[in-house]
Amino acid sequence: MPDLFLIIVILLFALAVTDLVVGVSNDAVNFLNSAIGSKVGSRRQIMIVASLGIFFGAALSSGMMEVARKGIFNPAFFTFMEIMILFLAVMLTDIILLDLFNTFGMPTSTTVSIVFELLGAAVALAVIKSMGEAGGLSGVSEYINSSSALAIITGIFLSVGIAFTVGALVMYVSRFLFTFNYQQRSRWIGIVWSGLATAVLFFFLFFKGLKGSGYVPESWVQWISSHPFTLIGGGTLFFSGVMYLLVRSGINILRIVVLFGTFSLAMAFAGNDLVNFIGVPIAGFQSYLAWRDTGVPADEYGMDVLSGAYPTQPYLLMGAGIIMIVTLWFSKKARSVTETEVNLGRQSEGLERFSPNWLSRSIVRGLYGASKNASSLLPQSWRKEAEKRFELKLPDKPEKGEDYDPPAFDLVRASVNLTVASALIALATSYKLPLSTTYVSFMVAMGTSLSDRAWGRDSAVYRVAGVLNVIGGWFATALIAFTVSATFASLLYHFQIWAVLGLVLLAGAAISRSIVVHKRREIRKKKLEAYAKDTVQLEAETVVRNTANSVAETLATSRQAIGAALQGLLTDSLPDVSRSQRIVAEQKRKSQEFRYAFYNDIGRIREEQQEGSRTYLLMYDLEQDYLQSAEFIIRAIAEHVGNVHAPLLPDQVEHLKELRQRVANYLERIETGLRNASFASYSDVLQEKQDLHQAIERLLSRQVQGIKEKTYSARNSLLFLSLALEFKDLIAVAARFYKLYHRLHHYSPENPWTLVAGGRP
């Protein structure tokens, strides 16, 4: 089957191009975060510097794709056919996984993904092979280099704790020295710091970027590895002198440090992470060349050849570098991932992407208490001096009408991010400690954000929740990569060409779907950004109309969610209940975004039309009550169905169906009135509300009578009573929505949203 394997090799290289695109889209955050967040230059200038770093990093790469060939598994135990199955499973998994993270703007480690994909596929094939051997599963360990996977897992823990702690400490000292008004501090502080930072970055660039490239003598590399502090100390003296000359010439030396750091990190990532994207296809191509002319069947030819060293052709490395650069310039998903990290560390407030959870609240509360206790141990004079040095000085806002888009953080923090990350990565590599470069870069940025007081009391729980989400995603990467790759390898082994066709179609469908999802997210985000930046004064009627449409959407979506939950209860269908929970969770997220937009709108209402502001505040309060009732209904149903309790009795089902239909019609009527500003039927709405409440009271009375007669079980009774009472609250809140807008407006077909003169809701 030589033609089939040639097709697989071609497919591997096609997947490699795709993997470069999705991989760089995720890795770009590691070297772009500081430059873009601090606005050290225009985006074009930053991209040019990063592109140069990527090109040189790829061109000077060692070309030794060790991890893909023998770092995780022992190739001598696999045949050529099994190796090709393994490599194809890995590439398909990697593309789907990284594209998924890119779609939701979540940074992850391409190294961890490729390692656990190789591990998963190798374990799956090892299990299949061992099952057919006399020794059974006991022989699986011979196929796997378990120490490599263990080193990666250890690296996750080390990276998170060490990077965050060191980043926080260095940032605290740096801010204490520089303050936020660093332009007017002693120039010698900036000169010495910039000299030290440049020396560290130079060491990182030389050691991490050029080591093993073949362009630097091995003796030099060994000397550098043995004398890192000597090189950094001498470099600090030299570069401090250079920085002094630059300061005398009127050049902003922190800008030089940040741009040089961006170049260094981009070069190092391109040189060292290139194996994550093209290592597997190149290993597959080398395997094919070794087998092609042997005449040995593919399922019998052993792959001992992969245990040797094979340098990669320079033209392949340069081609990969060019693809990475093009991706960097044009990938919208790369911007999404970068924005996630920048927003988690930004100095200013704004719409927070992540919702707080019990863990983030506990961490913030614990840190806040510890901070207060630690501060009380310091003398009052020290605390006052520290507070002065940490007083935030934001750039002056421009005159009215001009764009105002300040950086997320300043050049001091950007230089600390790059320097600390580079130092930790280089030193860990020199001492052969298993730190992850992606994890170091991210956690340093989060540590500096904490020390820089970017996480204030109004934003800390959201930022910490974001960090926890990202860290959780890192562990999910390993689990998903292992599981999916093992599954794909098993399918390819048993179904071969049919599995190839099916999995390629699956990958294509997954990427196409992710493009649609990402586009929707971008449209929603741009709409919110337009709200936040708009400074044009609004008529109060505009804000009131917008709030009414938002409430109408909440009513419509919650009606749909409650309907799905009740259907799940009546049919004992857990998927329907789960769907209702997703619907209401999505509506809560949308409501938060709308509230953020309307918060901005309040500041834009004309002074003489403040009634719209009052309407918004009342609407906000009512919407919270309404969503809480809807959530309680769905949660009660989910608990009942999820616990497999007995279904409702026939008469309870009939009563609930009738109530569901009447409430749905009632909510739809109010929703239509809000959308069309048709409030003339207010008296009819009040009457319908009263009728519904009376109907619910009758149902409650019947239920109580049934409990006394022991007709209904305790679980059913509690559920039915809870639903009926929450429906009563839901109906009342919906009527208050209608009443609010009815009292604020007079009905006029020509201009239905005109405010009542002097009216108050």
pLDDT in tens, 303-321: 777 666 556 677 777 888 8
Q: What is the mean pLDDT of residues 258-281?
A: 81
* 404, 397 Cβ separation under 8 angstroms: yes
Diameter of the chain by CA atoms?
94
Instruction: Report the C-alpha gap between 544 and 620 in whole angstroms.
Output: 12
Residue-wise DSSP of 479-529: HHHHHHHHHHHHHHHHHTHHHHHHHHHHHHHHHHHHHHHHHHHHHHHHHHH
Instruction: Report the C-alpha gap between 212 and 102 in whole angstroms.
Output: 31
> How do residues 338-385 score in pLDDT, each as one tens digit?
777 777 777 766 666 677 777 877 887 887 777 777 767 767 777 777
DSSP conformational letter for 378: S
Average model confidence (pLDDT) across the chain: 78
Q: What is the mean pLDDT of residues 585-602?
A: 65
Residues in CB range of 433: below 8 A, 6 or more apart: 155, 158
pLDDT of residue 149: 64
Domain 540-744, CATH number (from 1.10.600.10, 3.40.50.300, 1.20.58.220, 1.10.10.10): 1.20.58.220
Residue 209, pLDDT above cutoff 70: no
Return the top range by mean pLDDT from 75-79, 205-209, 434-438.
75-79
pLDDT of residue 294: 81
Instruction: Report the C-alpha gap between 150 and 155 in whole angstroms.
Output: 8
Residue 444, pLDDT above cutoff 80: yes
* 415, 35 Cβ separation under 8 angstroms: no
pLDDT class of 759 with cuts at 50, 70, 90: very low
Q: How far is CA 266 from CA 156, 235, 279, 421, 667, in A?
A: 21, 21, 19, 12, 55
What percent of the chain lies above the pLDDT cut of 70?
79
Six-digit token pair at 529? 């950004």
Residue-wise DSSP of 92-145: HHHHHHHHHHHHTT----HHHHHHHHHHHHHHHHHHHHHHTSTTGGGGGGGGB-
* 172, 236 Cβ separation under 8 angstroms: no
pLDDT class of 484 with cuts at 50, 70, 90: very high
Q: What is the mean pLDDT of residues 738-749?
A: 63
Q: What is the mean pLDDT of residues 159-186?
A: 82
DSSP conformational letter for 182: G
What percent of the chain lies above the pLDDT cut of 90?
5
pLDDT of residue 483: 93
Q: Helix or strand or coil: residue 538?
A: strand
For helices 228-248 and 218-226, the axis angle rounded to 10 degrees is 90
> Among the listed ranges 141-145, 173-177, 280-284, 442-446, which one has the minimum average pLDDT value?
141-145
Based on its alpha-carbon atoms, the radius of gyration of the chain, rounded to whole angstroms, reads 31
Residue 137, pLDDT above cutoff 80: no
pLDDT of residue 760: 39
pLDDT of residue 92: 92
pLDDT of residue 748: 43
Six-digit token pair at 634? 């769905």
Instruction: Report the C-alpha gap between 126 and 144 in whole angstroms.
Output: 8
pLDDT of residue 490: 92
pLDDT of residue 237: 92
Instruction: Report the C-alpha gap between 333 and 331 in whole angstroms.
Output: 5
pLDDT class of 189 with cuts at 50, 70, 90: confident
**Amino acid, single-letter form, for residue 437:** T
Long-range contacts of range 330-334, CB-CB < 8 Å, 24 or more positions apart? 331/21, 331/24, 331/25, 331/28, 332/518, 332/522, 333/22, 333/25, 333/99, 333/102, 333/103, 333/105, 333/518, 334/24, 334/25, 334/26, 334/28, 334/29, 334/32, 334/102
Residue 535, pLDDT above cutoff 50: no
Residue 98, pLDDT above cutoff 60: yes
Which sequence spans correspond to the domains of the chain? 2-371+413-522, 540-744
Q: What is the mean pLDDT of residues 444-464?
A: 81
Residue 507, pLDDT above cutoff 70: yes
Burial per residue of 97-107, b for 16 or more beta-carbon CB atoms within 10 angstroms, e otherwise: bbbbbbbbbbb
> How do residues 515-534 score in pLDDT, each as one tens digit?
887 777 777 666 655 555 55
pLDDT class of 75 with cuts at 50, 70, 90: confident
Residues in CB range of 339: below 8 A, 6 or more apart: 105
Phi, psi dihedrals of residue 640, rounded to the nearest 5°: -65, -50
Q: Report how far Cα 54 is from the mean position of its chain's Cα atoms.
A: 24
Residue 223, pLDDT above cutoff 70: yes
Six-digit token pair at 670? 């109010």
Alpha-helical regions (H) of 249-350:
253-292, 314-330, 332-345
pLDDT of residue 592: 66
pLDDT of residue 238: 92
pLDDT of residue 491: 93
Residue 749, pLDDT above cutoff 50: no
pLDDT class of 109 with cuts at 50, 70, 90: confident
Return the top range by mean pLDDT from 95-99, 100-104, 675-679.
95-99
